[in-house]
A and B are shown apart, each in its own frame.
Chain A
């Protein structure tokens, strides 16, 4: 018997509301099949299943709001376990540590007041607290199982233990809101704001960020783009964003330390480059779905997928795998935004690439100062996972790639 649980669609998700089942009892489901629509504060998401089998029972009804990790359906079927172990699939059991390439981290969140057997079952002893937190708690004689975590997927972190023990510097205790996504007084925008607030507060507290900058001359890339687009129908033209995304993805493939997750004190490089693309939503907030295998997509295909991703972020229809599998995020401000960006890394990722507005600016070329279209590309790195030299190498590679756009 296998269980299908409410997935964690990113570090800022606490709960989701089942909108519709796409399957019925008795249906056979395949890996990657969309089985349910779930409303989160990022909109209505097509949730995929990553085990194969036959639906035995549907445990919840549409309309119910449930914490991440709640069992939604039971499945039976031969080969379900083997399928679940296959490369590149998120773990079906939230209690299993995520050490697999391409997989999202284990999806466990301890709901602050969830003491039902279901929620407790979802919390294996291994995932309830980090190694450091368990060790420190033992030293202090604290039972970690009694603590509510603020770490990744609700894990109790060392900081949580220290706060409780009164050793934390400062007197502000960072507490996640009890039920951000389920508070009926909240508008979706307010719920999203709170979810982002919780995730970013945690990221800013836990991740020692470093930031690097590089002014990239985009004249060759843009000239190449104009020539490429000439004579093509509108739907086949490329935008600068496609070149930038491809350059970032190829760069990440060559600097695997930055295409990785930081989980429980370990750097876990991911083989595939699933580029997160930050899209700001008009109601407020943002979403950064993954462009799967961006490094391997030819430019026209990458452009098509990017346009489709942005369209679905607006209309609805993002898939759960897109929300949970990004390995490094790019935030590109387009041609009308600010000149540069220092952002906050989205855990468990270990880097964030920022691309400022493309605009003509003076550049020294030989002995002359000439106007050139440029963008300030920034790299925020998690200093636990990498050092500035590694980050600088990524910026070097991205810059070089953009000087030879025909090779992208």
Chain B
């Protein structure tokens, strides 16, 4: 998956948990949970969506690495 594809996939995953969010104004280093007001259930749904789209198993201990856009892009590019 190219970085562009990954970005699009993340946008879609975030849109599914925060439909009213404006993805374009999201800064790469911003904490998604703060910027998009995600609660723990929303973040869970986001991780599930990313897992379904990529097939990558994301262990719970790695969740903190996916709390920013930059972090998620780096993590999924490994």
Using a CB–CB cutoff of 8 Å, the interface residues on chain A facing chain B are: 226, 229-230, 233-235, 237, 239-241, 279-280, 282-283, 306-307, 310-311, 314-315, 334-336
Q: B10 near A: Cβ within 8 Å?
A: no
Q: List, in ascending order, chain A residues with CB within 8 A of B60's CB.
A: 226, 229-230, 237
In Å, the complex CA distance between A230 and B60 comes to: 8
Contact code string B18-56 (vs A, CB < 8 Å = 1, else 0): 111100000000000100110111101101101110000
With beta carbons under 8 angstroms apart, the residue of A229, A237, A283 that contacts B20 is: A283
With beta carbons under 8 angstroms apart, the residue of A226, A229, A233 that contacts B51 is: A233
In Å, the complex CA distance between A234 and B46 comes to: 10
Query: Knowing that A233-B57, A282-B20, A282-B21 are A-B contacts, what are 4 other residue pairs whose CB atoms are under 8 Å apart, sorted by A's residue number?
Result: A241-B41, A306-B41, A307-B44, A336-B39
With beta carbons under 8 angstroms apart, the residue of A280, A310, A334, A335 that contacts B45 is: A310
Q: Is the CB of B18 within 8 A of A282?
A: yes
Q: Is the CB of A314 within 8 A of B19?
A: yes
Q: How large is the interface on B (under 10, 10 to 19, 20 to 34, 35 or more residues)?
A: 20 to 34
| Residue in chain A with minimal CB distance to B60 | A229
Q: Is the CB of B57 within 8 A of A334?
A: no
In Å, the complex CA distance between A241 and B33 comes to: 17
Q: List, in ascending order, chain A residues with CB within 8 A of B3's CB.
A: none
In Å, the complex CA distance between A47 and B67 comes to: 36
Q: Is the interface of B mostly helix, strand, loop or mixed?
A: helix
Q: Is the CB of B39 within 8 A of A314?
A: no
In Å, the complex CA distance between A334 and B16 comes to: 20
Q: Known: A226-B60, A233-B57, A237-B60. Contact between A307 and B41, CB under 8 A?
A: yes
Q: Is the CB of A241 within 8 A of B58?
A: no
Q: Is the CB of B51 within 8 A of A239?
A: no
| Residue in chain B with minimal CB distance to A358 | B40
| Residue in chain B with minimal CB distance to A280 | B39
In Å, the complex CA distance between A225 and B37 comes to: 24
With beta carbons under 8 angstroms apart, the residue of B21, B33, B47 that contacts A234 is: B47
In Å, the complex CA distance between A282 and B20 comes to: 8
In Å, the complex CA distance between A283 and B36 comes to: 11
Q: List, in ascending order, chain A residues with CB within 8 A of B40's CB.
A: 239-241, 334-336
Scoring A226, A239, A306 by chain B CB atoms within 10 A of each residue's CB, the highest score goes to A239
Q: B17 near A: Cβ within 8 Å?
A: yes
Q: Is the CB of A311 within 8 A of B17?
A: yes
Q: Is the CB of A307 within 8 A of B48?
A: yes
Q: Is the CB of A235 within 8 A of B52?
A: yes
Q: Considering the complex of A and B, which 7 residue pairs feature the smallest CB-CB distances, nearest first?
A: A310-B41, A234-B51, A235-B48, A334-B40, A334-B39, A234-B47, A282-B37
Q: List, in ascending order, chain A residues with CB within 8 A of B57's CB.
A: 233-234
Scoring B18, B36, B40 by chain A CB atoms within 10 A of each residue's CB, the highest score goes to B40
Q: List, in ascending order, chain A residues with CB within 8 A of B18's CB.
A: 282, 314
In Å, the complex CA distance between A240 and B60 comes to: 13
In Å, the complex CA distance between A307 and B40 comes to: 10
| Residue in chain A with minimal CB distance to B52 | A235
Nearest CB of chain B from residue A248's CB, rounded to whole Å: 16
In Å, the complex CA distance between A280 and B18 comes to: 12
A-B contact pairs, 19 of them (CB 8 A): A233-B51, A233-B57, A234-B47, A234-B57, A235-B51, A237-B44, A239-B40, A239-B44, A241-B40, A241-B41, A282-B20, A282-B21, A282-B37, A307-B44, A307-B45, A310-B39, A334-B39, A335-B40, A336-B39
In Å, the complex CA distance between A334 and B40 comes to: 6
| Residue in chain A with minimal CB distance to B17 | A314
In Å, the complex CA distance between A279 and B19 comes to: 15
In Å, the complex CA distance between A315 and B49 comes to: 14
| Residue in chain A with minimal CB distance to B33 | A336
Nearest CB of chain A from residue B28's CB, rounded to whole Å: 21
B:51-78 near A, CB below 8 Å: 51-52, 57-58, 60
